[in-house]
C-alpha cells in the first residue's frame, strides 16, 4: 500500500471570527506532486502555513511521516517552504544563501561546500556560487531559493506560488524544470497556485479549493474530465452548465430533460423530478446542419470570436441560455444568426450538482 507522508485531518481555522478553513482533509503519498488550486483568499497559504507549523489549526491534526506534528514548532518538522518572493538574503552570495541552514546545523565546511556544489548542479547553476542575488535573473533567483530549501533534505517541500513573479515564458520553462527536479529527487511537493494550466501541467494530484473547503481532490484528468462540482467545472477550463429535470429513472441511469422535449441519458442513480446540473466542456461540443452523433439541441449562432488557435462560438438555445463552444478550425461556415444543431457525446457530460431547485446557485 502506498505510504502516506502527510495527512490533514479535518482542519479548521478562523481569523478574528471569520472561518478560513472549514474542515479540510487530505492524504498525500510520498513522492507525489500535489497542488492546492483555488482563487485568491480561498485558504491555500493558510493551509501551507499550518503544514509548515507557522500557524496552529483551531481543530484537526497534521500527521507527517506517521507522527502527529500539530503542536510541533516549524523547526521540528522535516518540511521546508519556498515563497513567491524568493526571500533570499540579499547581502549573502548564492553559496552562502544555500549553505545557510547547513551552517545553522554546524555542519563541517567541506561537507557544506560539497552539498552546495551538488545543489547548484541539481538546479543547473554550476559556477554561480559567488554571485550576489541582485546579479541573478528572476528564474535564477528562484532556483537558488529552491536549492536553499532542499539543502537539509526535507521530506516535504512546500511551494507557495513560486513562479508567480515570473513572466509567462519563463514560468512555463520553470514548470517543466521544477517537475523534472521533483521527479528526479523523489521529494513530495505541495504546491500552491491559482493558475489552472500550471496545476494541470505539473501535478499528480490537485485539490481544488474554494471558500476554505476542498471542492474536489483528484488527478488532473479526473478534475478536468469529471468535475465533481459546479465550481470545479467552472474554475478549470471552459464549461457549459446545463440544468434539467429527471423525467425517468432506471437503475444506474436516468433520462433528463434539458430543454422542453430534449432528453439526455445520464449515468447514475437519480429520482424522478430531481433537478440536476451537467457540465459539458466547450471543446467537446460540435455544431452543424445536422447532428452527427450523441445528444442534440437546436440553437442559433450568436457570435464567433477568434482567440488565437481556437474559434470561440456563442450559441443561443431556445431557453435563452448561451452555450460556449471552442473549435480548432479558425473559420466557421455558419454566420451569426444561422440556426444549427448543437451536439455532444452524453458520456462527456459530468453531473456537477443534484437535487437543487431550478436556477439555484
Ligand atoms: P492568495 O492566492 O491571494 O494568496 P490564499 O488562498 O492563499 O490567497 P490565504 O492567504 O490562506 O488565501 O487567506 C485566506 C483568508 O484568510 C483571507 O481572507 C485572508 O485575508 C485571511 N487571513 C490570512 N491570514 C490571516 C491573518 N493572519 N489574520 C487575519 N486574516 C488572515
Q: What is the mean pLDDT of residues 292-301?
A: 91
| 45 Cβ inside 6 Å of ligand 1 | yes
pLDDT band at 86 (very low <50, low <70, confident <90, very high): low
β strands within the chain, DSSP E: 4-15, 18-29, 33-37, 59-64, 67-68, 79-82, 156-160, 188-193, 205-210, 213-218, 239-250, 253-259, 262-267, 275-281, 286-288, 295-306, 311-316, 322-327, 339-344, 350-354
User: Residue 15: pLDDT band by 50, 70, 90 thresholds?
Assistant: very high
This prediction's pTM: 0.88
- Asked if residue 42 has its Cβ within 6 Å of ligand 1, the reply is yes
Tens-place pLDDT, residues 33-45: 999 999 999 999 9
* Mean pLDDT of the residues in the chain: 91
Checking if the pLDDT of 200 tops 70, the result is yes
Q: Are 82 and 34 in contact (CB under 8 A)?
A: no
Confidence at residue 172, expressed as pLDDT on a 0 to 100 scale: 87
User: What nine digits make up the cell of 300?
Assistant: 442559433
Give 3's contacts (C-beta < 8 A, 6+ positions apart).
Answer: 29, 30
Q: Is the CB of 194 under 6 A from ligand 1?
A: yes
Of 7-11, 97-101, 138-142, highest mean pLDDT: 7-11
User: Which residue has cell 516549524?
Assistant: 74
- Which residue has the least CA distance to atom 5 on ligand 1? 41
* Shortest-distance atom of ligand 1 to CA 47: 11
When mean pLDDT is compared across 47-51, 167-171, 215-219, 271-275, the lowest value belongs to 167-171
Cα distances from 251 to residues 168, 272, 349, in angstroms, run 49, 12, 19
Which of 44, 195, 209 has most ligand 1 atoms within 8 Å of its beta carbon, as the pocket-test mutant?
44
- The residue whose C-alpha atom lies closest to atom 19 belonging to ligand 1 is 41
pLDDT value of position 360? 41
The whole-number average pLDDT for the span 286-298 is 89
Q: At 110, is the pLDDT very low, low, confident or very high (cuts 50, 70, 90)?
A: very high
Q: Report how far ligand 1's centroid is from the alpha carbon of 320 (Å).
A: 39
122-142 tens-digit pLDDT:
888 999 999 999 999 888 888
DSSP 268-321: S---TT-EEEEEEEGGG-EEESS--SSEEEEEEEEEEEE-SSSEEEEEE-TTS-
Decide: 342 and 299 in contact? Cβ < 8 Å. yes
Residue closest by Cα to atom 18 of ligand 1: 41
Q: Which domains does the chain have, with CATH numbers?
A: 4-228 (3.40.50.300), 238-354 (2.40.50.140)
**Residue of the nearest CA to atom 30 in ligand 1?**
15
Give the residue whose CA is nearest to atom 27 of ligand 1. 15
Give me ligand 1 centre to Cα 41, in Å.
5
| pLDDT confidence of residue 174 | 83
Q: Could you tell me the CA-to-CA distances from 216 to 60, 205, 206 in Å, in that order?
A: 19, 10, 8
**pLDDT tens for residues 227-262?**
999 999 999 999 999 999 999 998 889 999 988 888
Looking up cell 474554494 gives: 210
Rounded Cα gap, residues 249 and 267, in angstroms: 10
Amino acid 357: pLDDT: 46
Reported confidence tier of residue 1, pLDDT bands at 50, 70, 90: low
pLDDT for residue 221 = 96
Establish whether residue 41 lines the binding site of ligand 1, counting it when its CB lies within 6 angstroms of any ligand atom: yes
Confidence (pLDDT) at 278: 95
pLDDT of 171? 83
Q: What is the pLDDT of residues 134-188, one digit of tens each?
A: 999 888 888 899 899 888 888 899 999 888 877 888 788 888 888 988 998 899 9
Residue 349 near residue 266, CB atoms below 8 Å = yes
Is the Cβ–Cβ distance between 222 and 274 less than 8 Å? no
In three-state secondary structure terms, 2 is coil
Radius of gyration of the chain (CA): 25
Residues 215-227, mean pLDDT to the nearest whole number:
96
Amino acid at each position: 500500500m502506498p505510504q502516506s507522508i502527510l495527512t490533514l485531518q479535518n482542519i479548521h481555522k478562523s481569523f478574528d471570527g471569520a472561518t478560513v478553513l472549514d474542515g479540510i482533509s487530505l492524504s498525500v503519498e510520498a513522492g507525489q506532486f500535489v497542488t492546492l488550486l483555488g482563487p485568491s483568499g480561498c485558504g491555500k497559504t493558510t493551509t501551507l502555513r499550518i503544514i509548515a507549523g507557522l500557524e496552529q489549526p483551531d481543530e484537526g491534526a497534521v500527521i507527517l511521516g506517521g507522527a502527529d506534528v500539530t503542536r510541533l514548532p516549524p523547526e521540528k518538522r522535516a518540511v521546508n517552504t519556498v515563497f513567491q518572493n524568493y526571500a533570499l538574503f540579499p547581502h549573502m552570495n548564492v553559496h552562502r544563501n544555500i549553505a545557510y541552514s547547513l551552517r545553522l546545523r554546524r555542519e563541517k565546511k567541506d561537507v557544506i561546500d560539497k552539498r552546495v556544489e551538488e545543489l547548484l548542479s541539481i538546479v543547473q547553476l554550476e559556477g554561480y556560487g559567488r554571485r550576489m542575488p541582485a546579479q541573478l535573473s528572476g528564474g535564477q533567483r528562484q532556483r537558488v531559493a529552491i536549492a536553499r530549501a532542499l539543502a537539509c533534505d526535507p521530506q516535504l517541500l512546500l511551494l507557495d506560488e513560486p513562479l508567480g513573479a515570473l513572466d509567462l515564458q519563463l514560468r512555463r520553462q520553470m514548470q517543466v524544470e521544477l517537475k523534472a527536479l521533483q521527479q528526479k529527487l523523489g521529494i513530495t511537493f505541495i504546491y500552491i497556485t491559482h493558475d489552472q494550466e500550471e496545476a494541470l501541467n505539473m501535478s499528480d494530484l490537485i485539490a481544488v479549493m474554494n471558500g476554505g473547503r476542498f471542492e474536489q481532490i483528484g488527478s488532473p484528468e479526473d478534475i478536468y474530465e469529471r468535475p465533481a462540482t459546479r465550481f470545479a467545472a467552472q474554475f478549470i477550463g471552459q464549461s457549459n452548465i446545463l440544468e434539467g429535470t429527471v423525467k425517468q429513472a432506471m437503475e444506474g441511469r436516468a433520462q433528463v430533460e434539458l430543454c422542453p422535449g430534449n432528453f439526455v441519458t445520464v449515468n447514475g442513480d437519480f429520482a424522478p423530478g430531481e433537478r440536476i446540473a451537467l457540465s459539458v466542456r466547450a471543446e467537446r461540443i460540435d455544431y452543424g446542419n445536422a447532428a452527427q452523433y450523441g445528444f442534440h439541441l437546436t440553437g442559433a449562432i450568436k457570435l464567433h470570436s477568434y482567440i488565437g488557435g481556437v474559434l470561440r462560438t456563442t450559441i443561443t438555445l431556445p431557453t435563452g441560455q448561451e452555450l460556449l463552444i471552442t473549435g480548432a478550425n479558425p473559420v466557421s461556415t455558419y454566420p451569426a444568426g444561422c440556426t444549427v444543431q448543437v451536439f455532444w457525446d452524453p458520456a462527456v457530460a459530468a453531473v456537477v450538482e443534484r437535487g437543487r431547485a431550478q436556477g439555484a446557485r
